[in-house]
A and B are shown apart, each in its own frame.
Chain A
Amino acid sequence: MASIAAAKVQEVREITRIERIGAHSHIRGLGLDDSLEPRNVSQGMVGQLTARRAAGVVLEMIKEGKIAGRAILLAGQPGTGKTAIAMGMAQALGQDTPFTSMAGSEIYSLEMSKTEALTQAIRKSIGVRIKEETEIIEGEVVEVQVDRPATGVGTKVGKLTLKTTEMETVYDLGGKMIECIMKEKVQAGDVITIDKATGKISKLGRSFTRARDYDATGPQTRFVQCPEGELQKRKEVVHTVSLHEVDVINSRTHGFLALFSGDTGEIKAEVREQINAKVAEWREEGKAEIVPGVLFIDEVHMLDIECFSFLNRALENEMAPVVIMATNRGITRIRGTNYMSPHGIPIDLLDRMNIVATKPYEEKELKEILKIRCEEEDCEMSDDALTVLTRIAGETSLRYAIQLITTSGLVSRKRKSNEIQVDDIKRVYSLFLDENRSMQFLKEYQDEFMFNEMGDSGDAMEVTDG
């Protein structure tokens, strides 16, 4: 009897585990107290006390919202928590402040020029808080019906039936709205609202009348009453849209639904100028408020000299967000030139930045991080195994050690144990090579590999800097 119950619990969990675990999914904030003093282990952050404190000061600056166009550089060795600090800042800022995260290499696209990509990223990081009245549809889903054409190509046809306690209406759906509904996993019994102006769908919960369908309800399912009255209502809402969204909405060639598919293309400069003027006007009239946000550029050394000089200018604009960059490079070539510079960033841009350094973790901190990751990845680990893993992290890299958590978890489960022992760690350590051992292996057997041009010097790292 107990085993059946256990099996059932397992099943429910399988269904509800929808979010995947990412490398930084354990981070919930910067882990600072009210006086901005960093706590040693808090909100998923460990160590890096000075860097976190600096990030906290920057955070205050952003929250004040007065200073635009500052740049912060997070510099440190690989695996010292640069991205983690940026993620922590994003979490600490909350929903209302726009936070855009991009990697330096994202700007290289055939469809868009580099400066356009950067401009869009910058404008995505500036919010406009507008109070407006919109028409929303609020109801319980009776049926979602999506028909694909028999040939497999062409537009999909969709119908959505919604009801309240008093009425029921069938709506036709356009292609992009169907995608949104699929993405939100809307199904019969959900209570949803659709903002007619922006097409945004949000799930309020499941209807009480469906409370008896036990399948597919996890602990986090919220039950709500079926709405009353008319399906379409007018509501005054305050929402934060980014300048980029306003741009897209107002560029006639795309239409607002382009926001969902992301195929916004290039936006004309004159559109942007007009939007800027209009937003300034709204601001003066008190209709709107500017919320400067944060643009985080990871791997900033991947930008080239054109982008850097563009950023130089863009940061001086009064509408600029706070730009946080992260790099793990030392003194290296600036991409697109033959000049060497610290962090691969031109001196004039470096001069405008506040540089925050991250230091390699100490053994005690490594252990804490691994412990947090074990919890996040749902693996139990014995103390001995954790000590061994900490040593591995110290000798190879933190990332490699984190990779070993789930893999050793799987190995321990194969031998029907819930706790990871030292043997499991040893086993996966022999199964998966770390970078050093891999290089060792290549050096030993290089003659047998194809296209082997590596001479005796073994200077393989040159290739990455293209």
Chain B
Amino acid sequence: MIAVKSPQVSVIGDNQMSASSNWIPYLSAAKKSCLVENGVRKVHYNLPDGKEMVEEYNLQTDVLQRRMWKVSDTVRGEKWNVEVGDQLPQFDNLESVGIQENATAPMLTKRITKTNIEWRIRNLPYARDVYSVTADTDGITVRTSNKKYFKKIDVPELARVGLLADSSLLSYTHQFNTLIITYKKPPKVLEMESKILEMVKAVSPTKVPDIKNAPDQCKPS
């Protein structure tokens, strides 16, 4: 099968859809399917505007582990763009990609805890007083006084409830070559998340055979 790639590229972080603070109606209009596997509740959204999104919730804590968006690209084909959680492992080698960041380059991951939104930037070996993290109208900005790293971080959660980043909720620490930025979730975000969780829990999971814990009926010789 040859997948012909479409030129229409949708981007996350570009808060076109989420800026309108009707995030909950947008998600509830989606066609949802759910799968419980390895202690993770995976929810797949077929959104009304043709986009696709996947969320993964931890069954124990009910915290969102990962959220990713399907993006199609004229050149590389379909891929999943991770909004929350660890990046997917990359298997393309350098020859086919052409250019990629060095392994020592800083890497940003985002995770969500019960009360906070957290960003970790690994591979930042500079002293703590080099960094400055500020909240402004279009998100959070990380700067370094030695001009080695700069990043504008979007916070789609805030945009979805129609809030701006607030510097009083923002804090950061630096240890083990990692800059950890913490943003305390405002009540509005907590409320939105609990509503979505309720919605997600209402979707009955598809049965999949539990291969890992299945009694091994077939005994290979």
Residues 1-27 of B, flagged 1 when their CB comes within 8 A of A and 0 if not, give 011111111010010000000000000
Q: What B residues does A252 contact at CB under 8 A?
A: 2
Docked-complex contact B99 and A173, CB < 8 angstroms? yes
Q: What B residues does A176 contact at CB under 8 A?
A: 95, 98
Report the minimum CB–CB distance from B119 to chain A (whole Å): 15
Q: What A residues does B149 contact at CB under 8 A?
A: 167-168
Residues 134-156 of B, flagged 1 when their CB comes within 8 A of A and 0 if not, give 00000000011001111110000
Docked-complex contact A130 and B74, CB < 8 angstroms? yes
Docked-complex contact A166 and B105, CB < 8 angstroms? no
Binds B, one of A9-17, A146-154, A190-198: A190-198
Report the minimum CB–CB distance from A89 to chain B (whole Å): 29
Alpha-carbon distance A381/B148, docked complex (angstroms)? 58
Please tell me the size bucket of the interface on A.
35 or more
Q: Mark out the residues of chain A between 148 and 182 whose CB falls within 8 Å of any chain B CB in the assembled complex.
A: 155, 159-160, 163-177
Q: What A residues does B148 contact at CB under 8 A?
A: 167-168
Does A355 sit within 8 A of B, measured CB to CB?
no
Docked-complex contact A255 and B74, CB < 8 angstroms? no
Q: What A residues does B7 contact at CB under 8 A?
A: 130-132, 282, 287-288
Shortest Cβ distance from A277 into B: residue: B4
Q: What B residues does A249 contact at CB under 8 A?
A: 5, 74-75
Interface of A, secondary structure class, is: mixed
A-B pair number, CB within 8 angstroms: 109
Alpha-carbon distance A256/B96, docked complex (angstroms)? 8
Alpha-carbon distance A350/B80, docked complex (angstroms)? 53
Does B88 sit within 8 A of A, measured CB to CB?
no
Shortest Cβ distance from B13 into A: residue: A234
Does A336 sit within 8 A of B, measured CB to CB?
no
Q: What B residues does A171 contact at CB under 8 A?
A: 99-102, 105
Q: What B residues does A133 contact at CB under 8 A?
A: 9, 11
Alpha-carbon distance A176/B98, docked complex (angstroms)? 7
Shortest Cβ distance from A257 into B: residue: B98
Alpha-carbon distance A197/B211, docked complex (angstroms)? 39
Residues 263-288 of A, flagged 1 when their CB comes within 8 A of B and 0 if not, give 00000001100110110001000011
28 contacts between A and B (CB under 8 A): A132-B74, A133-B11, A159-B102, A160-B99, A166-B143, A167-B148, A167-B151, A169-B102, A169-B106, A170-B102, A170-B105, A172-B102, A173-B98, A174-B96, A194-B99, A196-B99, A197-B76, A199-B99, A230-B152, A249-B5, A249-B75, A250-B3, A256-B75, A270-B2, A275-B4, A278-B4, A278-B6, A287-B7
